Structure formats: structure tokens, C-alpha cells
Amino acid sequence: MPNNLPLFNLNEYITDSEALIAGVDEVGRGCLFGQVVAGAVILPVKSINQLTEIGVKDSKKLTAKKRADLVSQIQEIVFDWQVTEIDNKMIDQINIFQASLLAMSQAINQLKCTPILCLIDGKFSLPNLEYPQLNLVKGDLRSPVIASASILAKVWRDQKIVEYAEKFPEYDLANNKGYPTKKHLEAIKKYGVTPFHRLSFKPCNLVK
């Protein structure tokens, strides 16, 4: 476990196996192109082990195919799930940090069930959240609840970016998913930016 962070032991906080726990994570924060997307799930404590049993773990440690295969399985286990997105225009207005927090808050607030506790990936608390929340640094590594939310968000966003790639083939989006790879940066220099690039990000705002 990186940084010697232990797996999160929910039993230290919640003893009721029927209690509903929510988890949330965001993806796309470091991209130059497209939206930042948050996923949230809610399920009873007693069902969390089922996520581990089907292979849920940090989405970055899974292949694209495995992530896609897990989506329907996760959706069958959880009571509810939501995916929300903040587009590049709003990111440019309020900055990526605030946009990430906003996306996660919206995802949890749209859940149709009420959690007794929300597990938040990262060290920053979410604003405008009525429910108790607990921050977990490297939460997608430490909690299958957060990891499952991350998988839903990752698959959702990747599918969106692949659709954009058909409209803007010059930027190699199908492969880089909007992240600043060499090909992506070279395309920005050669072709400029699209309406979906984040102009508040340095490689984009340097383009005239």
C-alpha cells in the first residue's frame, strides 16, 4: 500500500450491517480536454464484500475491459448509483479543484437513498453535503466502495471521450482520454484548441 496507508476498516465506524454507506470519487481532473466526472454509489455495509469478490479495486489497476465488465456487476450490488459531470466551461470559471468537489457533491446529493456515512476520496471535505462524511487519502486503493464509484465514473468518462475522438481525430483522444500526452500536446500546438479544451490549463491557454 503506497505511503503505508492501511486498508480502511469500516467496522471501526459503523457496526450496523444494514447501514447505508456512500462512496464517491472523481476522474479526469488532470485532463486538458473534456469534463471532470464523479461517480457515487450507496449500499449496505453487509454488501461491501461483494464488491471485493467481483474484483473491484483501484480503477487505475484494472484494464479498460475489466472496468467495463464490472459496471453492470457493481450496479446490481449497490442500492443506487449516480454519475455527474462538470464541463470544461465551468471548470474554466471556477477552477478544476472546485469543479471536482462540486461534481462529487452533486453525485452524492442525487443518490435516491440516504447514507449514514459518505466516504470521500482525497483529503478535502465536500461543500453543501448534508450527510456525515469521512475523507480517505488514496481512497480508491483503500475502500471498495470508493473504488466502485471510481470505476463507474471512469468508464462513463472514457466512453464520452471516445465519442469526442470521432469529431476531433487529430488529438488522439481515444488513446489519451484527454490527458496531456505528447501526441495531444503536439496536436494542440499544430491545430489549436477545440471548444472542449480547458482554457484555464496552461498548455491550452498558451495557444493563440
Task: Encode pLDDT of 118-154 as tens digits.
Answer: 999 999 999 889 999 999 999 999 999 999 999 999 9
Number of structural domains in the chain: 1
Across the range 55-83, mean pLDDT stands at 96
Does some domain include residue 32?
Answer: yes
Whether the pLDDT of residue 208 is over 60: the answer is no
Could you tell me the three cell numbers for 104?
462529487
pLDDT digit string (tens) for 79-99?
999 999 999 999 999 999 999
Domain CATH code at residue 122: 3.30.420.10
Residue 189's contacts (CB-CB under 8 Å, 6 or more residues apart) are 207
Q: What is the DSSP letter of 71?
A: H
Does some domain include residue 114?
Answer: yes
Q: What is the DSSP letter of 2?
A: G
User: Is residue 89 within 8 Å of residue 35, measured between CB atoms?
Assistant: no
Does some domain include residue 54?
Answer: yes
* Strand ranges inside 28-149, DSSP E: 36-44, 80-86, 117-121, 133-136
Task: Report the C-alpha gap between 202 and 204 in whole angstroms.
Answer: 5
The domain of 99 spans 18-167
Does some domain include residue 98?
Answer: yes
CB neighbourhood size of 199 (10 A):
15
Using a pLDDT cut of 90, give the percent of the chain over it.
86
Does some domain include residue 86?
Answer: yes
Does some domain include residue 192?
Answer: no
